[in-house]
Amino acid sequence: MLTCKTCNLQFIDRPEYQRHIRSCTTEVEVTCQNGVFVVFRNVAGHFDCQCGDDGCPRPFQSGDALKAHLKKKKSIWVTVDRV
């Protein structure tokens, strides 16, 4: 039995487990106009976008969704936790 260290979900199948691990990370590295930043999954299980866009900070379900948003908006990250 394989257990996800992030959410404790259990898997019998290794490929399925590995696919899950990729989408179940606790942190994601994002690239903005003003640098590269690390975003951590919050207690609600979301990644909060802290860019300067109207409507942000806003939660994203996955790191990929957050990255897509930043790419589209070409926005500036406003927090200071630079990598």
Q: Which residues bind Zn ion (CB under 5 A)?
A: 4, 6-7, 9, 24, 49, 51, 53, 56
Q: Which residues contact 24 (CB under 8 A, 6 or more apart)?
A: 4, 6, 7, 9
Q: Which is nearer to Zn ion, 8 or 83 (CB)?
A: 8
Q: Which residue number, 53 or 59, has a Cβ lying nearer to Zn ion?
A: 53
- Nearest distance, CB of residue 11 and Zn ion, angstroms: 9
C-alpha span between 72 and 11 (Å, rounded): 35
What angle is formed at CA 61 by the lines to CA 60 and CA 64, rounded to 5 degrees?
80
- Minimum Å gap between C-beta 48 and Zn ion is 9
